Amino acid sequence: MKNIDAVRLMAVAVAALVLETTLLANVAWAGARPDLLVPVVAFAALFAAEPSHAYGMAWAVGLLRDLGTAGPLGQYALIYLVLAATLASLRSLLFREHPLTQAAVGGLGAAAAGLASAACTAAFAGGIPLTLCLARTASSAFATALLAPVAVTLLSRTRLLVR
Amino acid sequence: MQRRRGSLAAGPLAAAAMALMALPSSWTQPPRLALNSALAFAAAPAASLGHRFSSGPTPSAEVLLQQLELEKSKNLEKDHTIAKLREQIDALNAGRATVKDPKLTFVPAGIVLSIDTSQWRRTFVIDKGTRHGIARGMPVLWHNHLMGFISDAGPGSSRVALITDPKIAVGAMAMSRTGEGAARPARDLCILEGNGSGAASLKWASSDATAGDGATVVTSPDPARGIPEGLLLGRVTGVSRSRGPFARPQVQPFVDLRGVDAVHILVKIDDGRQP
């Protein structure tokens, strides 16, 4: 198994975040948008040669999202790190090349990240209505599940990302 | 063995993330705001493409011709500058019509980044900071609408939390329409609270209050926070009533941030000094 090029994957993460907060922000449904960084974290967790590389990547990708929010710094770094650790521990049980696996991982990952960040926002800023929280998380997870197979397949087939 | 190494790597990273979370936002926000401004500059072409995507169905030929004329006029930099200045004057006049206190002045600011990367927060970044006299908690206006408050201020840019952000709570009162069409204020004062969606809700509104559908919600005076009376907040779009004594009217803000590119910060002048 080859190592993932961390610098190039970070560049992909920056591009994904820009895409999410510009193009996709304006076509978001009911305020929910797909979490494009979850497929990047999933790719790192499923395809990295060493779990520690995936953890580092997930942490850095989370910190990238933290830079653009009013929430506490490190919130998404922790959420994505836990997500990567969970995926890495389940890696032997998953058929990572299958699009359905990637969709499920993307959708569940986005749902978990959405709920965790909502809980964090409720703790640090103020309460979010439960119905809004569930509806937005579900639609964001659905959109991420649709995009995850495309994103993970593209990332896994891009030779530039491995060395 | 691999698993053990992996868990060893995850521990320090988790600890680092939690240590970062414990840092006060006054330390972490200034570098983040500077990075946001740089990112916004780099992402400007993608953002304008996004606005085009969201413009809805294809307009008719007549509308397109009108848009063409508008675009032609916009190309003239002089006209554009005049229009921008006129807009600022209109906004200032509208704001000054509501904000009567001479000790309160307006500092214009442009919107640098109009989105928060967390989908639960409603914040945006402006191009004025502590160097321009901006401080945390100052109200941010567009014309005579209260947009939100400065939540963090860096040297050259600041983050504004919209009134729909979960962190925001502001004193409010509902102006209901009477039979003759005139507006009159409801007797009970409420708290407008953001919840992270595109709308906010009124807390502690009594069930027999006059804040029905369509009522206009304005600010109640709060001298401690420098909020004058009568700034527009939004319109009541529905009231959820429970068994308790309080109703929960939903409030839709009048202003959509996507259509705004400049705001004013309400700054209090102390001892005759300009901010």
B29-59 pLDDT, tens digit per residue, is 888 888 887 877 777 777 777 666 665 566 6
Same-domain check for residues B200 and B248: yes
Same-domain check for residues B148 and B87: yes
B96 has pLDDT over 80: no
Structure confidence by residue, pLDDT tens digits, B249-270:
888 888 887 778 889 998 887 7
Is residue B54 in some structural domain? no
A38 has pLDDT over 90: yes
**Residue listed under structure tokens 């027999």:** B208
- What's the domain count of chain A? 1
- The chain B residue lying nearest A135, using CA atoms, is B197
Same-domain check for residues B91 and B212: no
Which of A89-98, A151-160, B26-35, B55-64 comes out lowest in average pLDDT?
Answer: B55-64
Same-domain check for residues B106 and B236: no
Same-domain check for residues B175 and B119: no
Q: What is the pLDDT of residue B126?
A: 92
Q: What is the pLDDT of residue B184?
A: 54
Residues A5, A120: contact at Cβ < 8 Å?
no
Put simply, the answer to whether A50 touches B152 (Cβ < 8 Å) is no
Chain B residue numbers touching A21 (CB-CB < 8 A): 43, 115, 117
Is residue A29 in some structural domain? yes
Same-domain check for residues B154 and B262: yes
A111 has pLDDT over 90: yes
Q: What percent of chain B has pLDDT over 90?
A: 11
Q: A90-95 contacts: CB < 8 A, separation 24 or more?
A: A91/A45, A91/A46, A94/A46
Which run of H or E residues covers position A56?
helix A51-66
Q: What is the pLDDT of residue A3?
A: 67
Is residue B74 in some structural domain? yes
- What's the domain count of chain B? 2
CA distance B200 to B242: 18
Chain B residue numbers touching A18 (CB-CB < 8 A): 39, 42-43, 46
Q: What is the pLDDT of residue A39?
A: 93
Put simply, the answer to whether B6 touches A55 (Cβ < 8 Å) is yes
In this complex, the residue of A18, A55, A67 whose CB is nearest that of residue B46 is: A18
Is residue A139 in some structural domain? yes
Taking Cα atoms as reference points, which of A41, A153, A48, A32 lies closest to residue A101? A153
Q: What is the pLDDT of residue B208?
A: 60
Same-domain check for residues B69 and B157: yes
The number of CA neighbours under 13 Å toward the Cβ of B11 is 6
Is residue A1 in some structural domain? no
A32 has pLDDT over 80: no
Is residue A51 in some structural domain? yes
B8 vs A120, higher pLDDT? A120
Which of A103-112, A125-134, B189-198, B199-208 comes out lowest in average pLDDT?
Answer: B199-208
Chain A residue numbers touching B191 (CB-CB < 8 A): none
Put simply, the answer to whether A27 touches B161 (Cβ < 8 Å) is no
Residues A91-104 have a mean pLDDT of 88
Residue B172 burial by CB count (10 A; 0-12/13-18/19+): exposed, middle or buried?
A: buried
- Non-local (6+) Cβ contacts of B198 within 8 A are A31, B122, B164, B252, B253
Same-domain check for residues B119 and B155: yes
**Residue listed under structure tokens 């014309």:** B143
Put simply, the answer to whether B118 touches A128 (Cβ < 8 Å) is no
The residue segments making up the domain with residue A113 are 6-161
Taking Cα atoms as reference points, which of B255, B66, B96 lies closest to residue B163? B255
Is residue B84 in some structural domain? yes
Put simply, the answer to whether A81 touches B23 (Cβ < 8 Å) is no
Structure confidence by residue, pLDDT tens digits, B131-152:
988 999 999 998 889 999 999 9
**CATH code of residue A80:** 1.10.1760
- Structure pTM? 0.75
Is residue A113 in some structural domain? yes
**CATH code of residue B189:** 2.40.10.350
Put simply, the answer to whether A71 touches B151 (Cβ < 8 Å) is no
Q: What is the pLDDT of residue B178?
A: 55
- The chain B residue lying nearest A25, using CA atoms, is B50
Chain B residue numbers touching A117 (CB-CB < 8 A): 118-120
A163 has pLDDT over 70: no
B244 has pLDDT over 80: no
Structural tokens at position B266: 């309400």
Put simply, the answer to whether A68 touches B5 (Cβ < 8 Å) is no
Same-domain check for residues B155 and B264: yes
Same-domain check for residues B130 and B219: no
- Interface pTM, i.e. ipTM: 0.79
Same-domain check for residues B263 and B134: yes
What is the least distance, in Å, from the CA of B232 to any CA of chain A?
23
Taking Cα atoms as reference points, which of B194, B197, B200 lies closest to residue B252? B200
Same-domain check for residues B133 and B179: no
Task: Assign B242 a pLDDT band (cuts: 50, 70, 90).
Answer: low
Residues A95, A101: contact at Cβ < 8 Å?
yes
The residue segments making up the domain with residue B136 are 64-161+257-268
Is residue B44 in some structural domain? no
Chain A residue numbers touching B161 (CB-CB < 8 A): 70
Q: How many CB atoms lie within 10 A of CB B273?
A: 7
